């Protein structure tokens, strides 16, 4: 079998099949050293000088991700936020940026409260609307179009290929937060994106025990080198143990994501008909706006994330009903975050506060890999109470 014929699921399961040179171990050792020996003639032939930039613990997870995303190179960061903000910090004050109104709220807050302060001109638009993308991108002025697809917490789908075409025509680049899709379902670089970002804290690691982030680039560029320097200079790097755990987590990425997708699809279809539910938001439902685009750019499922809008009844508002439903789950865990093996439920408006696009009766569901029937039954009993 030729190396280029190996399927992504096999690449992930074997973490590229790396063998440790010295011990012949099939699991890489953990490198905790912060520094590396200099040759007697004053050279650094290994290319490694200091762990803030050249940590061998990053080599394997970065290489696995580069292969899965079909990119040129990857960088591992201390968190998804560290990875995402490095892209914006690599721009120049005055640059125009187009970003979605519906996106991970903490990054939206940072863009509104810090990036604009620093001089970026950030324009928030409905990224699910192709005409708005065309209107907002300004030739010569726009330097970056930031996409999240599907986007938290309404799961808005952006047509990545179309946005890339519009951005490139205007001289801008496209970066995609693909945390929710994961490399199992979507490879934004093959759709024309320039950079793909993951909160590796979520599906890539998958076990709710690592905070990390990643960027992968389609090609080497001056911008990519600036991002590399930002990581080295600001030091937003993952620890060696986190990097090691992330490689271990990615070995099971495909089975976890496929199981979560199948379960989420069944749950979305089940609860779409439920009398206590006003609306189910899930890209896998045929009447979901963006379903046709999702079908084109996601393969093998529509993700493990969905939201339900709970109906009020009698004197109880939809918001009260949603919070009461979350209070009554037994198997689901009432917690923030997503992409782990355990299913989580969260009243999103309570987390995001003012300015959230989440309706007050919305519960965000991160579907794990438990038995689908158990998950449905638990939510059913919580809705009944
Ligand atoms: C879609 C998305 N992007 C980015 C982030 C930020 O990642 P981290 O929490 O690792 O900084 C999150 C975290 O919830 C997320 O859901």
Average pLDDT, the chain: 97
152 lines ligand 1 (CB under 6 A): yes
* CA 82 to centroid of chain Cα atoms: 13
- Ligand 1 mean position, distance from CA 98 (Å): 19
Task: Say how many C-beta atoms besides its own lie within 10 A of residue 325's C-beta.
Answer: 24
Nearest Cα neighbor of 64 from 253, 211, 193 is 253
Express the helix, strand and coil content of the chain in percent, nearest 5 each: 40, 15, 45
- Ligand 1 mean position, distance from CA 342 (Å): 17
pLDDT of residue 1: 82
pLDDT of residue 367: 98
pLDDT of residue 328: 98
Helix (H, G, I), strand (E, B) or coil at 177: strand
pLDDT tens sequence across 29-43 = 999 999 999 999 999
Q: Does the pTM exceed 0.75?
A: yes
104 lines ligand 1 (CB under 6 A): yes
Q: Ligand 1: which atom is nearest the Cα of residue 83?
A: 11
pLDDT tens sequence across 120-168 = 999 999 999 999 999 999 999 999 999 999 999 999 999 999 999 999 9
pLDDT of residue 300: 97
Query: For the residues 52-60, what does the mean pLDDT come to?
Result: 94
- Ligand 1 mean position, distance from CA 104 (Å): 7
User: Which protein residue has the closest C-alpha to ligand 1 atom 16?
Assistant: 104
238 lines ligand 1 (CB under 6 A): no
- Ligand 1 mean position, distance from CA 211 (Å): 9
Instruction: Report yes or no: 259 and 252 within 8 Å, Cβ to Cβ.
Output: no
How many residues are listed for the chain in this entry? 385
pLDDT of residue 256: 98
pLDDT tens sequence across 244-294 = 999 999 999 999 999 999 999 999 999 999 999 999 999 999 999 999 999
Q: Give the containing element (helix H, strand E) for 366.
A: strand 362-366
Calpha distance 72→67 (Å, rounded): 8
**Active-site residue set:** 52, 104, 177, 202
Query: Is the omega angle on the peptide bond into residue 153 within 30 degrees of 0, that is, cis?
Result: yes
80 lines ligand 1 (CB under 6 A): yes
179 lines ligand 1 (CB under 6 A): yes
Residue 233 has pLDDT above 90, yes or no: yes
Calpha distance 281→268 (Å, rounded): 8
Residue 176 has pLDDT above 90, yes or no: yes
71 lines ligand 1 (CB under 6 A): no
How do strand 142-148 and strand 96-100 relate by DSSP bridges?
A: parallel
Residue 2 has pLDDT above 90, yes or no: no
Pocket test for ligand 1, best of 147, 202, 365 (most atoms within 8 A of CB): 202
pLDDT of residue 76: 98
Pocket test for ligand 1, best of 77, 199, 356 (most atoms within 8 A of CB): 199
Question: Residues 6 or more apart from 67 whose CB is under 8 A from it?
Answer: 8, 11, 16
Pocket test for ligand 1, best of 78, 80, 212 (most atoms within 8 A of CB): 80
- Ligand 1 mean position, distance from CA 81 (Å): 6
Question: Residues 6 or more apart from 293 whose CB is under 8 A from it?
Answer: 157, 158, 159
Task: Say how many C-beta atoms besides its own lie within 10 A of residue 279's C-beta.
Answer: 17
């Amino acid at each position: 079998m030729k190396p280029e014929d190996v399927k992504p699921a096999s690449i992930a399961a074997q973490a590229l099949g790396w063998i440790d040179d010295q011990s012949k171990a099939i699991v890489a050792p953990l490198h905790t050293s912060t520094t590396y020996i200099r040759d007697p003639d004053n050279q650094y032939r290994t290319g490694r000088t200091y762990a803030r930039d050249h940590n061998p613990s990053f080599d394997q997870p970065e290489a696995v991700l580069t292969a899965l995303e079909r990119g040129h190179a990857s960088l591992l960061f201390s968190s998804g936020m560290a990875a995402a903000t490095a892209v914006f910090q690599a721009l120049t004050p005055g640059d125009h940026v187009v970003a979605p109104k519906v996106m991970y709220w903490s990054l939206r807050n940072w863009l509104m409260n810090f990036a604009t302060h620093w001089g970026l001109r950030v324009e928030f638009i409905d990224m699910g609307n192709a005409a708005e993308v065309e209107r907002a991108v300004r030739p010569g002025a726009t330097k970056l179009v930031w996409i999240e697809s599907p986007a938290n917490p309404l799961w808005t789908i952006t047509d990545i290929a179309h946005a890339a075409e519009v951005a490139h025509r205007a001289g801008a680049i496209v970066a995609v937060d693909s945390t929710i899709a994961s490399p199992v379902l979507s490879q934004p670089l093959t759709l024309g994106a320039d950079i793909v970002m993951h909160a590796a804290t979520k599906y890539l690691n998958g076990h709710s025990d690592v905070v990390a982030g990643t960027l992968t680039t389609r090609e080497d560029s001056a911008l990519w080198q600036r991002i590399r320097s930002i990581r080295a200079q600001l030091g937003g790097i993952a620890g060696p143990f986190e990097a090691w755990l992330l490689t271990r987590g990615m070995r099971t990425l495909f089975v976890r994501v496929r199981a979560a997708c199948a379960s989420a699809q069944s749950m979305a279809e089940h609860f779409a008909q439920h009398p206590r539910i006003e609306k189910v938001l899930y890209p896998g439902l045929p009447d979901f706006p963006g379903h046709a685009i999702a079908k084109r750019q996601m393969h093998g499922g529509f993700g493990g994330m969905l939201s339900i809008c709970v109906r009020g009844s009698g004197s109880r508002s939809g918001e009260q009903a949603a919070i009461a439903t979350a209070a009554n789950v037994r198997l689901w865990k009432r917690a923030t975050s997503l992409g782990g093996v355990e299913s989580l439920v969260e009243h999103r408006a309570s987390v995001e506060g003012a300015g959230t696009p989440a309706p007050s009766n919305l519960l965000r569901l991160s579907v794990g890999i438990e038995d689908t029937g158990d998950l449905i039954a638990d939510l059913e009993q919580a809705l009944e109470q």
